[in-house]
Structure 1
Amino acid sequence: MRERFIVTKEHRRFTEFADSVRRGRTIGLCYGPAGVGKTVSARRYAHWEQAHELLTDWGPRGDDDAKIYAALAKNRTALYTPGVLTTPRLLREDLDRIITRTSICIQQHVEVPGRIPLDRWGTRRTTNYVQLVIVDESERLSPTALELLRDRYDRDQIALILIGMPGLQKQFTHYPQFYSRVGFAHQYRPLSTDELLFVLQRHWRSLGKTLNPDDFTDAQTIAAISRITRGNFRLLERLFPQIERVLKINELQTITNDVVEAAASTLVIGTT
């Protein structure tokens, strides 16, 4: 079962940032520590959870695909993650494929049946409906690959967002031709105290419990989770299945500081 998406303030800020880049047809840089939610927000914005399977396993269409076409048409965005060994040539081929397939899906939604645009020779006109390409894990791109992206941006005027770790914005200062085209830079931060509390309340409810910050036991537990995760969204999502497991194994009803510590001891927790 697909987990419910939690809309945090950082996700809303990312959405506003992506909208600005897309509408301005410019280049944006998004950077932040690993696990804070950059990729999750990008996939949500591009509706990639719905569309990934269809765009990857390209084949015959079904009636249910109309929902995917409509989702892709909302933000007209394609998401791409280069592999560790992606070459500039492979990057160009992958981008061509993902942009073309995404555009075809959007076209199915926006064009009126029976009114298909034709060129002067009477054949179906090819229109690019993709307005934004988001490239995740952009540190993997070589200087030549970056130059390829810049050239594509100049030629096609498709907005571009590059996502990466802190320092990404400084990395691109070494490529003045590319950096001069950057219109927005967005720092994706860990969860604030208020956001952490909001997310924890959702997790408590999913376990059939109520979180009360004024209760001493709950306050201790919140403090322990905050100290362990430091607002890292991915680590928080990994911690709660272990908390649930500790509760079941020990037949406990209350999430306490000790339960959290026991759950955290089963995880590999690096620097967040």
Structure 2
Amino acid sequence: MSQRFIVTKEHHRFTEFADAVRRGHTIGLCFGSAGVGKTLSARRYAHYEKAHDLLTYWGPRSDNDAKIYAALNQSRTVLYTPSVLTTPRTLKDELTQAITRTNMCIEQHLVPPGTATPEAWGWRHGRNYVELIIVDEAERLRPAALELLRDRYDRDDIALILIGMPGLEKQFSHYPQFYSRVGFAHQYRPLGQDELLFVLERHWRSLGKTLDPDDFTDAQAIAAIARITRGNFRLLERLFPQIQRVLKINELDTITNDVIEAAQSTLVIGVT
């Protein structure tokens, strides 16, 4: 994703939740409506933006990879998203590969090649550095896949977070062996009014403008965006490129209620 990450109160709450799960070596459930920012926060926490290409394609190394090794050492986290048709065997193989590659990167940071004897390389002797697995789109998991994750949690003492839509906690309550190990549940909420204003100020600034809530035109624009998005972060991020487009096409300088309505008309706005 190329969009600039905006640190919100909900992201801070997610970070505190993930830290607690990781420290407690327990299982956590994170649920919230589509588009509120759950996946973005998980990717940020796991430094996935930096590490995605290296962990996915596993190609030749470069000097810049040292920053990725350091980031993975800091997070000690693997982010995994199962596909719709992921089987338990596929999950096992893909998760093992992700953990193995992450361990190798962390070890590259802790013991760079040529700085120690082979005996100092902990991972090659079975040491695991990964402390947390985050599984996004967890509703896709079948009962056998849940059992596999529970077994890995029990055997390897790696904390686990499952992310999904509201109702996730009720879905997993039907699996007592898994649910009895859940230590934390976290609801990821839409942006509140103060947070929405903070994010809008950033967007106004990116367009070279200043947002003034006391100005009648700006106040109308804020109200229109709040009504359209209902604090949904994804809808907000989709709306602003269209606002910029409407301004440019019509050679306008001010973001008005009419501009926002025109931008909205180009989008398919689902239920938030």
Q: TM-score, normalised by structure 1?
A: 0.96
Secondary structure, counterpart of 2:55 in structure 1: helix
Aligned equivalent of 1:153: 153
Q: Residue 114 of structure 1 aligns with which residue?
A: 115
Question: How far apart, CA to CA, are the structure 1 residues paired with 2:10 and 2:60?
Answer: 38
Q: What amino acid sits opposite 1:115 in the alignment?
A: A
CA distance in 2, matches of 1:126, 1:66: 22
Identity %: 77
Structure 2 equivalent of residue 211 of structure 1: 211
Other structure's SS at 1:185 match:
strand
* Uncovered stretches (5+) of structure 2, i.e. residues with no partner: none
C-alpha deviation, 1:59, in angstroms: 2.4
* Runs of at least 5 residues in structure 1 that lack an aligned partner in the other structure: none
Instruction: Name 1:267's counterpart in structure 2.
Output: 267
Distance 1:61 1:250 in 2: 48
Shift of 1:128: 1.0
Tell me by how many angstroms 1:116 deviates.
4.4
2:38 matched residue in structure 1? 38
Aligned partner of 2:83: which letter? G
Relative to 1, partners in 2 of residues 1:124 and 1:42: Cα closer, same or farther, differing over 3 Å?
Answer: closer
Which residue of 1 is the match for residue 53 of structure 2? 53
Q: Secondary structure at the match of 1:29?
A: strand
Question: SS in structure 1 opposite 2:162?
Answer: strand
Match in the other structure for 1:163 = 163
2-side partners of 1:62 and 1:205: how far apart? 36
Q: How far apart are the structure 2 equivalents of 1:89 and 1:252?
A: 56
Amino acid of the structure 1 residue aligned with 2:94 = D
Structure 2 counterpart of 1:118, which letter?
E
For residues 232 and 98 of structure 1, the distance between their equivalents in structure 2, rounded to whole angstroms, comes to 31
Which sits farther off after the overlay, 174-183 or 124-133?
124-133
- In the alignment, what sits opposite 1:233? 233
The aligned residue for residue 13 of structure 1 is 13
Residues of 1 paired with 2:156 and 2:131: CA distance?
Answer: 10
- Name the CA distance, whole Å, in 2 between partners of 1:227 and 1:18: 31
Cα distance in 2 for residues equivalent to 1:41 and 1:221: 27
Shift of 1:117: 5.8
For 1:173, the equivalent position in structure 2 comes to 173
1:64-213 alignment, distance < 5 Å: 64-111=64-111, 114-116=115-117, 118=119, 124-213=124-213
Q: Aligned-pair RMSD on alpha carbons?
A: 1.4
Match of 1:118, SS? helix
- 2:28 alignment partner in structure 1: 28
Query: Deviations 1:161-191 (Å, cap 9, x if unpaired)?
Result: 0000000011111000000000000000000
**Structure 1: distance between partners of 2:146 and 2:213:** 48
Write the distance in 1 (CA, Å) between the matches of 2:3 and 2:88. 35
- 1:198-228 C-alpha deviation (Å, 9 max, x unpaired): 0000000000000000001100000000000
8 A contact 1:116–1:124 mirrored in 2 = no
2:160 counterpart SS class:
strand
Q: Given the superposition, is the C-alpha separation of residues 30 and 117 from structure 1 closer, same or farther in structure 2, using an over 3 Å criterion?
A: farther
Would the alpha carbon gap of residues 138 and 124 (structure 1) be closer, same or farther in structure 2, given more than 3 Å must change?
closer
Q: In the alignment, what sits opposite 1:247?
A: 247
Inter-partner Cα distance in structure 2 for 1:98 and 1:220: 48
